Amino acid sequence: MRHYPAFLDIKNRPCLVVGGGGSALAKARLLRRAGAKVTVIAPTFCAGLRALGSRNEVTLHPRKFIERDAAGYVLIHATSGIANLDEAVARAAQTNNILVNVVDCSELSSFVMPAIVDRGTIVVGISSGGASPFLARRVRAEIEALLPHGLSQLADFAKSFRSAVRATFDDLETRLRFWEGFFDGPLAEAIIDGQPSDARAKMLSLVNGAQLPPTGDIYEIIVDLTAPDLLTLRDIRRIARADVIVRDLTIGPSVLDHARRDALFVESLDGINLINQRVVHLTTHTQTQRAAS
Protein backbone atom coordinates (compact mmCIF):
# COMPACT_ATOMS: atom_id res chain seq x y z
CA MET A 1 0.00 0.00 0.00
CA ARG A 2 1.74 3.14 -1.23
CA HIS A 3 -0.73 5.74 0.10
CA TYR A 4 -2.44 5.94 3.48
CA PRO A 5 -6.22 5.86 2.90
CA ALA A 6 -8.26 8.49 4.75
CA PHE A 7 -11.42 10.58 4.42
CA LEU A 8 -10.96 14.25 5.33
CA ASP A 9 -13.56 16.42 7.05
CA ILE A 10 -13.29 19.72 5.14
CA LYS A 11 -16.75 21.09 5.88
CA ASN A 12 -16.55 24.91 6.15
CA ARG A 13 -12.76 24.77 5.72
CA PRO A 14 -10.87 26.78 3.07
CA CYS A 15 -9.66 24.87 0.02
CA LEU A 16 -7.95 26.21 -3.11
CA VAL A 17 -8.18 25.18 -6.75
CA VAL A 18 -5.62 26.60 -9.17
CA GLY A 19 -6.83 26.43 -12.77
CA GLY A 20 -9.85 27.57 -14.72
CA GLY A 21 -10.81 24.68 -16.99
CA GLY A 22 -12.87 21.50 -16.83
CA SER A 23 -10.57 19.74 -14.37
CA ALA A 24 -10.76 22.71 -12.01
CA LEU A 25 -14.55 22.67 -12.31
CA ALA A 26 -14.70 18.98 -11.39
CA LYS A 27 -12.51 19.51 -8.31
CA ALA A 28 -14.46 22.59 -7.23
CA ARG A 29 -17.75 20.71 -7.47
CA LEU A 30 -16.36 17.80 -5.47
CA LEU A 31 -15.03 20.10 -2.75
CA ARG A 32 -18.39 21.86 -2.57
CA ARG A 33 -20.17 18.52 -2.16
CA ALA A 34 -17.97 17.93 0.89
CA GLY A 35 -18.96 21.33 2.29
CA ALA A 36 -15.64 23.15 1.76
CA LYS A 37 -15.21 26.89 1.24
CA VAL A 38 -13.68 26.93 -2.23
CA THR A 39 -11.47 29.56 -3.83
CA VAL A 40 -10.41 29.27 -7.47
CA ILE A 41 -7.49 31.19 -8.96
CA ALA A 42 -6.87 31.43 -12.72
CA PRO A 43 -6.55 34.15 -15.38
CA THR A 44 -9.79 32.94 -17.02
CA PHE A 45 -12.59 30.58 -16.05
CA CYS A 46 -14.75 28.14 -17.95
CA ALA A 47 -18.51 28.69 -18.10
CA GLY A 48 -19.17 26.14 -15.34
CA LEU A 49 -16.86 27.91 -12.88
CA ARG A 50 -18.32 31.28 -13.78
CA ALA A 51 -21.77 29.87 -13.02
CA LEU A 52 -20.61 28.60 -9.61
CA GLY A 53 -19.11 32.00 -8.91
CA SER A 54 -22.27 33.85 -9.91
CA ARG A 55 -24.20 31.75 -7.37
CA ASN A 56 -21.57 32.46 -4.69
CA GLU A 57 -20.80 28.74 -4.40
CA VAL A 58 -17.10 29.42 -4.98
CA THR A 59 -14.91 32.52 -4.81
CA LEU A 60 -13.17 33.37 -8.11
CA HIS A 61 -9.93 35.35 -8.36
CA PRO A 62 -9.25 36.12 -12.05
CA ARG A 63 -5.46 36.45 -11.97
CA LYS A 64 -2.25 34.43 -12.00
CA PHE A 65 -1.27 32.30 -9.01
CA ILE A 66 1.56 33.57 -6.81
CA GLU A 67 3.38 31.66 -4.10
CA ARG A 68 1.79 33.42 -1.13
CA ASP A 69 -1.67 32.38 -2.41
CA ALA A 70 -1.07 28.94 -0.89
CA ALA A 71 -1.09 30.17 2.70
CA GLY A 72 -4.17 29.57 4.83
CA TYR A 73 -5.70 26.61 3.03
CA VAL A 74 -6.10 23.05 4.28
CA LEU A 75 -6.03 21.47 0.83
CA ILE A 76 -4.99 22.57 -2.68
CA HIS A 77 -5.71 21.18 -6.14
CA ALA A 78 -3.39 22.15 -9.00
CA THR A 79 -5.37 21.61 -12.19
CA SER A 80 -3.97 24.00 -14.78
CA GLY A 81 -2.19 21.35 -16.85
CA ILE A 82 0.71 23.79 -17.27
CA ALA A 83 3.76 21.96 -15.93
CA ASN A 84 5.66 24.98 -14.57
CA LEU A 85 2.57 26.42 -12.89
CA ASP A 86 1.45 23.15 -11.32
CA GLU A 87 4.98 22.54 -10.04
CA ALA A 88 5.00 26.02 -8.49
CA VAL A 89 1.67 25.34 -6.79
CA ALA A 90 2.96 22.02 -5.43
CA ARG A 91 6.15 23.64 -4.07
CA ALA A 92 4.18 26.45 -2.42
CA ALA A 93 1.80 23.97 -0.80
CA GLN A 94 4.62 21.77 0.46
CA THR A 95 6.44 24.80 1.87
CA ASN A 96 3.32 25.58 3.90
CA ASN A 97 2.73 21.91 4.86
CA ILE A 98 -0.57 21.88 2.97
CA LEU A 99 -1.98 18.78 1.29
CA VAL A 100 -1.73 19.17 -2.48
CA ASN A 101 -2.88 17.16 -5.46
CA VAL A 102 -1.56 17.82 -8.95
CA VAL A 103 -3.82 16.38 -11.62
CA ASP A 104 -2.19 13.47 -13.46
CA CYS A 105 1.09 13.89 -11.56
CA SER A 106 1.32 11.74 -8.44
CA GLU A 107 5.04 12.56 -8.10
CA LEU A 108 4.21 16.17 -7.19
CA SER A 109 1.20 15.26 -5.06
CA SER A 110 1.06 14.63 -1.32
CA PHE A 111 -2.24 12.81 -1.85
CA VAL A 112 -3.96 11.18 -4.82
CA MET A 113 -7.61 11.42 -5.74
CA PRO A 114 -9.47 8.11 -5.80
CA ALA A 115 -12.21 7.09 -8.17
CA ILE A 116 -15.34 7.62 -6.09
CA VAL A 117 -18.58 5.73 -5.65
CA ASP A 118 -20.88 8.23 -3.95
CA ARG A 119 -23.94 6.91 -2.15
CA GLY A 120 -24.42 9.94 0.08
CA THR A 121 -23.47 8.85 3.59
CA ILE A 122 -21.66 5.83 2.13
CA VAL A 123 -18.64 6.73 0.00
CA VAL A 124 -16.18 4.28 -1.56
CA GLY A 125 -12.79 5.44 -2.79
CA ILE A 126 -10.74 3.33 -5.23
CA SER A 127 -7.11 4.22 -5.87
CA SER A 128 -4.33 2.79 -8.01
CA GLY A 129 -1.81 5.05 -6.28
CA GLY A 130 -1.59 7.08 -9.46
CA ALA A 131 -0.37 4.07 -11.47
CA SER A 132 -3.52 3.69 -13.57
CA PRO A 133 -6.44 6.07 -12.93
CA PHE A 134 -8.31 4.47 -15.84
CA LEU A 135 -8.16 1.07 -14.13
CA ALA A 136 -9.41 2.62 -10.89
CA ARG A 137 -12.38 4.03 -12.82
CA ARG A 138 -13.09 0.59 -14.28
CA VAL A 139 -13.12 -0.90 -10.77
CA ARG A 140 -15.41 1.93 -9.65
CA ALA A 141 -17.88 1.05 -12.41
CA GLU A 142 -18.01 -2.57 -11.22
CA ILE A 143 -18.54 -1.54 -7.60
CA GLU A 144 -21.22 0.96 -8.57
CA ALA A 145 -23.15 -1.85 -10.23
CA LEU A 146 -23.15 -3.76 -6.92
CA LEU A 147 -24.11 -0.98 -4.52
CA PRO A 148 -27.76 0.13 -4.48
CA HIS A 149 -28.52 3.84 -4.43
CA GLY A 150 -30.60 3.43 -1.26
CA LEU A 151 -27.51 2.75 0.89
CA SER A 152 -27.41 6.35 2.08
CA GLN A 153 -30.98 6.16 3.41
CA LEU A 154 -30.14 2.88 5.14
CA ALA A 155 -27.04 4.36 6.79
CA ASP A 156 -28.97 7.41 8.01
CA PHE A 157 -31.78 5.19 9.31
CA ALA A 158 -29.33 2.98 11.22
CA LYS A 159 -27.57 6.04 12.65
CA SER A 160 -30.84 7.26 14.19
CA PHE A 161 -31.07 4.01 16.21
CA ARG A 162 -27.44 3.69 17.34
CA SER A 163 -28.10 5.13 20.80
CA ALA A 164 -31.15 2.92 21.33
CA VAL A 165 -29.25 -0.21 20.30
CA ARG A 166 -26.31 0.72 22.53
CA ALA A 167 -28.65 1.22 25.48
CA THR A 168 -30.44 -2.08 24.87
CA PHE A 169 -27.47 -4.38 24.29
CA ASP A 170 -24.72 -4.19 26.89
CA ASP A 171 -21.80 -5.81 25.10
CA LEU A 172 -20.19 -5.07 21.75
CA GLU A 173 -20.53 -8.63 20.43
CA THR A 174 -24.31 -8.67 20.93
CA ARG A 175 -24.65 -5.26 19.32
CA LEU A 176 -22.63 -6.52 16.39
CA ARG A 177 -24.96 -9.50 16.03
CA PHE A 178 -28.00 -7.25 16.16
CA TRP A 179 -26.71 -4.96 13.42
CA GLU A 180 -25.64 -7.87 11.23
CA GLY A 181 -29.10 -9.38 11.57
CA PHE A 182 -30.70 -6.04 10.73
CA PHE A 183 -28.55 -5.31 7.66
CA ASP A 184 -29.08 -8.84 6.37
CA GLY A 185 -32.84 -8.76 6.95
CA PRO A 186 -35.97 -7.71 5.04
CA LEU A 187 -36.37 -4.37 6.83
CA ALA A 188 -33.01 -3.14 5.53
CA GLU A 189 -33.94 -4.32 2.02
CA ALA A 190 -37.22 -2.39 2.20
CA ILE A 191 -35.42 0.81 3.21
CA ILE A 192 -32.89 0.41 0.39
CA ASP A 193 -35.72 -0.16 -2.09
CA GLY A 194 -37.43 3.05 -0.97
CA GLN A 195 -40.36 1.26 0.68
CA PRO A 196 -39.82 1.97 4.38
CA SER A 197 -43.48 1.88 5.45
CA ASP A 198 -43.66 1.57 9.26
CA ALA A 199 -39.87 1.14 9.24
CA ARG A 200 -39.33 2.99 12.52
CA ALA A 201 -42.04 1.03 14.29
CA LYS A 202 -40.60 -2.25 13.02
CA MET A 203 -37.09 -1.23 14.08
CA LEU A 204 -38.31 -0.30 17.56
CA SER A 205 -39.91 -3.72 17.79
CA LEU A 206 -36.58 -5.34 16.91
CA VAL A 207 -34.70 -3.27 19.47
CA ASN A 208 -37.27 -3.68 22.23
CA GLY A 209 -37.38 -7.43 21.61
CA ALA A 210 -33.68 -7.62 22.48
CA GLN A 211 -33.55 -11.24 21.37
CA LEU A 212 -30.33 -13.18 21.50
CA PRO A 213 -28.65 -13.73 18.15
CA PRO A 214 -29.39 -16.99 16.36
CA THR A 215 -26.95 -19.85 16.25
CA GLY A 216 -24.36 -19.74 13.51
CA ASP A 217 -24.07 -21.52 10.20
CA ILE A 218 -21.33 -23.38 8.35
CA TYR A 219 -20.85 -22.81 4.63
CA GLU A 220 -18.45 -24.61 2.33
CA ILE A 221 -16.99 -22.56 -0.51
CA ILE A 222 -14.97 -24.27 -3.22
CA VAL A 223 -12.13 -22.12 -4.54
CA ASP A 224 -10.62 -22.58 -7.98
CA LEU A 225 -6.94 -21.74 -7.40
CA THR A 226 -6.48 -21.01 -11.11
CA ALA A 227 -9.32 -18.45 -11.12
CA PRO A 228 -10.04 -17.10 -7.59
CA ASP A 229 -11.86 -14.15 -9.16
CA LEU A 230 -14.70 -16.51 -10.10
CA LEU A 231 -16.06 -16.40 -6.55
CA THR A 232 -19.71 -15.41 -6.61
CA LEU A 233 -20.95 -12.28 -4.88
CA ARG A 234 -22.74 -14.51 -2.36
CA ASP A 235 -19.45 -16.33 -1.62
CA ILE A 236 -17.65 -13.04 -1.07
CA ARG A 237 -20.37 -11.81 1.29
CA ARG A 238 -20.20 -15.02 3.31
CA ILE A 239 -16.43 -14.77 3.61
CA ALA A 240 -16.72 -11.12 4.64
CA ARG A 241 -19.23 -11.95 7.40
CA ALA A 242 -17.57 -15.08 8.76
CA ASP A 243 -16.35 -15.26 12.36
CA VAL A 244 -14.27 -18.37 11.70
CA ILE A 245 -12.62 -19.35 8.43
CA VAL A 246 -11.37 -22.88 7.91
CA ARG A 247 -8.98 -22.93 4.97
CA ASP A 248 -6.66 -25.04 2.91
CA LEU A 249 -3.14 -23.65 3.18
CA THR A 250 -3.04 -23.40 -0.61
CA ILE A 251 -5.65 -20.63 -0.59
CA GLY A 252 -3.96 -17.24 -0.79
CA PRO A 253 -4.62 -13.54 -0.14
CA SER A 254 -6.71 -13.01 -3.29
CA VAL A 255 -9.47 -14.90 -1.46
CA LEU A 256 -8.60 -14.35 2.19
CA ASP A 257 -8.47 -10.56 1.86
CA HIS A 258 -12.28 -10.61 1.62
CA ALA A 259 -12.42 -11.66 5.29
CA ARG A 260 -12.89 -9.42 8.31
CA ARG A 261 -9.69 -8.37 10.01
CA ASP A 262 -10.84 -9.90 13.29
CA ALA A 263 -11.88 -13.24 11.76
CA LEU A 264 -10.29 -16.37 13.21
CA PHE A 265 -8.33 -18.42 10.64
CA VAL A 266 -7.90 -22.14 11.42
CA GLU A 267 -7.06 -25.34 9.58
CA SER A 268 -9.73 -27.39 11.36
CA LEU A 269 -12.66 -26.85 13.73
CA ASP A 270 -11.22 -29.08 16.45
CA GLY A 271 -11.66 -27.34 19.81
CA ILE A 272 -13.53 -24.35 18.35
CA ASN A 273 -16.74 -23.25 20.09
CA LEU A 274 -19.24 -22.88 17.25
CA ILE A 275 -22.12 -21.41 19.27
CA ASN A 276 -23.31 -18.24 17.53
CA GLN A 277 -20.36 -18.45 15.15
CA ARG A 278 -20.63 -18.09 11.40
CA VAL A 279 -18.15 -20.44 9.81
CA VAL A 280 -16.90 -20.59 6.25
CA HIS A 281 -14.91 -23.59 5.08
CA LEU A 282 -12.70 -22.64 2.15
CA THR A 283 -11.58 -25.66 0.21
CA THR A 284 -10.24 -26.54 -3.20
CA HIS A 285 -12.17 -29.84 -3.33
CA THR A 286 -15.80 -30.86 -3.03
CA GLN A 287 -16.88 -33.40 -0.43
CA THR A 288 -17.25 -35.96 -3.26
CA GLN A 289 -13.75 -35.32 -4.54
CA ARG A 290 -12.28 -35.64 -1.04
CA ALA A 291 -14.11 -38.92 -0.45
CA ALA A 292 -12.86 -40.33 -3.74
CA SER A 293 -9.22 -39.34 -3.13
CATH of the domain at 133: 3.30.160
Dump pLDDT digits (tens) for 139-196: 888 888 777 888 889 999 999 999 999 999 888 888 888 888 788 777 888 888 887 7
User: Kindly report the CA angle at 119 between 191 and 27, in degrees rounded to 5?
Assistant: 160
pLDDT value of position 210: 67
pLDDT value of position 211: 58
CATH of the domain at 167: 1.10.8.210
pLDDT value of position 147: 79
Tell me if 161 is assigned to some domain. Answer: yes
Tell me if 5 is assigned to some domain. Answer: no
Q: Which domain holds residue 168?
A: 151-209
Task: Please check whether residues 23 and 103 belong to one and the same domain.
Answer: yes
pLDDT value of position 293: 40
Task: Please check whether residues 202 and 229 belong to one and the same domain.
Answer: no
Give me the chain's average pLDDT, please: 87
Task: Please check whether residues 87 and 105 belong to one and the same domain.
Answer: yes
Is the pTM value of this prediction over 0.75?
Answer: no
Task: Please check whether residues 27 and 64 belong to one and the same domain.
Answer: yes
Tell me if 4 is assigned to some domain. Answer: no
Q: What is the edge-to-edge ordering of all strands in the sheet holding 279-283? A: 218-222, 279-283, 244-247, 264-266
Residue 6 sits at φ, ψ, to 5 deg, of -160, 155
- 3-class secondary structure, 24: helix
pLDDT value of position 189: 80
Tell me if 6 is assigned to some domain. Answer: no
Q: How many Cα atoms occupy the beta-carbon half-sphere of 68 within 13 Å?
A: 0
Pick the closest to residue 218 from 245, 198, 237 (CA basis). 245
pLDDT value of position 162: 93
Angstrom distance (rounded) from CA 186 to CA 112: 38
CB contact at 8 A, 23 and 48? no
Tell me if 3 is assigned to some domain. Answer: no
Tell me if 7 is assigned to some domain. Answer: no
Task: Please check whether residues 203 and 226 belong to one and the same domain.
Answer: no
Dump pLDDT digits (tens) for 196-224: 778 888 888 888 876 544 546 788 999 98
**What total of structural domains would you count in the chain?**
4
pLDDT, block means (10 residues), the chain with 293 residues: 87 98 97 97 98 97 96 97 96 96 92 88 85 84 81 91 90 84 81 82 83 64 85 82 89 90 90 81 66 40
pLDDT value of position 216: 62
Task: Please check whether residues 140 and 159 belong to one and the same domain.
Answer: no
Please tell me what DSSP assigns to residue 230.
G
Max CA pair span of the chain: 78
Task: Please check whether residues 41 and 127 belong to one and the same domain.
Answer: no
pLDDT value of position 149: 82
